[in-house]
Amino acid sequence: MHRHQAKYLDIARPIEAIFANSSDALSSISARSRPAMPTLLSPITVGSLQLPNRVIMAPLTRARCEAGDIPSELMATHYAQRASAGLIIAEATMAIANNCAFIGAPGIHNNAQIDGWRTTTNAVHAAGGRIFLQVWHGGRACHSLLNGGAQPVAPSAIAITEGETYTPEGMQPYEVPRALRDDEIPGIIAGFRQAAVNAKRAGFDGVELHGANGYLLDQFLRDSSNIRSGPYGGSFENRARLMLEVIEATASVFGADRVGLRISPLNSYNSMIDSDPVGLTTYLANRLNPLGIAYLHVMRSDFLGHQQGDILSPARAAYKGCIIANMGYSIAEAEQAVASGAVDAIAFGTAFLANPDLPARIKAKAPLNAPDPATFYAQGAKGYTDYPTMKEAGLAEAFFT
């Protein structure tokens, strides 16, 4: 080797080392600065709440109220057991008296019910949790035998045709509802607003409006149940009007950042369908953007399997806020959905019912308890507060040591 070549190599080697070290350093900086993909256990800001994880407890009617639709001590125990959820969304709760669609479902329209719910919110907060109340009007899913003889009301005089409803006199066909007059609708809006006032008095952190599953707000939204004319029927704008006005009314109590909305554009339960679920979802998502609500809770499919389609993708494309998705997610699919950004959080229903410590089980990759459908709507603790935690099942030592 020529002397000047050797000299060049002697100089080049340290320069190469410098560049190699610099490249390693830049790669390290890039890795540190690159945001990690979220997981189900990543914290998230939802409205004005800081949630410790993205494992949401979905609202589940379980018929454990006391007489008078008063939330029971057993319900307080049930919800407090599940306080490790990022957010608990408590079960559908009657906003307005005499609009019950389910025996044993709670209300939030009188002082006894407010006091009953306060026991639950105190218990959840003492356990470190956060809890919203899902407020609800059954509309045409109500029955006069559940409501002191009051005829159900709806956007149009069209009855639910599939199935029957359970009443004090046994199973009965659904009744033909009375179509609400336009001049009655401000009273419905005021009833939802008062329910939000009452929920705040009861200690809830916010409210979720039940705009899904064929109950009143959903009945106005979808065109199979809403064939009225005038300001609340016809176009997307008119059919969404009641829902948006109820959002604004409840936001005046809690602030929009403590109000969520649940929708189910594909769900055919309660004889529901819409001629354009994707268009309806997109329209509604765009209208929600300027309102600044805490989240949009999307039920992605159909309980009964009659309707197929993708409404999550158009919701994600149109809606700029937090999307919580629900219905049929395994833990693995939920992790993938959150990591990909398709949704921001997942609401689990029966998985949370059967596993009060669901976030801990997800973290440990531990097996899940199986839910018992035979006890879903039974009375008492069985299938409600007696599902074991990992520790109670003897799994904690195996997975955490």
Residue labelled with tokens 């409006």: 209
CA distances from 335 to 55, 344, 345 (A): 10, 10, 9
CA distances from 21 to 12, 16, 25, 133, 143 (A): 14, 9, 6, 56, 75
Phi, psi dihedrals of residue 11, rounded to the nearest 5°: -75, -40
Q: Could you tell me how far CA 323 lies from the centroid of its own chain? A: 9
Overall residue count recorded for the chain in this entry: 401
User: What distance in Å separates the CA atoms of residue 304 and residue 323, rounded to the nearest whole number?
Assistant: 23
Q: Which residues of 146-155 are buried (b: 16+ CB within 10 A; e: fewer)?
A: bbeeeebbbb
Note if 215 is an active site residue.
yes
Q: How many CA atoms lie within 13 A of 301 on its CB side?
A: 9
Among residues 8, 79, 174, 215, the one annotated as catalytic is: 215
User: What distance in Å separates the CA atoms of residue 343 and residue 38, rounded to the nearest whole number?
Assistant: 11
Beta-bridge partner residues of 154: 179
Those residues with Cβ within 8 angstroms of residue 171's Cβ, 6 or more apart along the chain or in another chain: 164, 165
Beta-bridge partner residues of 296: 261, 323
**Residue 349, token pair as written in the block:** 């229903």
Those residues with Cβ within 8 angstroms of residue 84's Cβ, 6 or more apart along the chain or in another chain: 53, 128, 129, 357, 358, 359, 360
Beta-bridge partner residues of 50: 45
User: What distance in Å separates the CA atoms of residue 84 and residue 357, rounded to the nearest whole number?
Assistant: 7
Those residues with Cβ within 8 angstroms of residue 302's Cβ, 6 or more apart along the chain or in another chain: 266, 267, 268, 269, 308
Q: Please name which of 243, 209, 220 lies closest in space to residue 158, comparing C-alpha atoms.
A: 220
User: What distance in Å separates the CA atoms of residue 97 and residue 111, rounded to the nearest whole number?
Assistant: 12
User: What distance in Å separates the CA atoms of residue 138 and residue 26, rounded to the nearest whole number?
Assistant: 59
* Catalytic residue ranges: 215
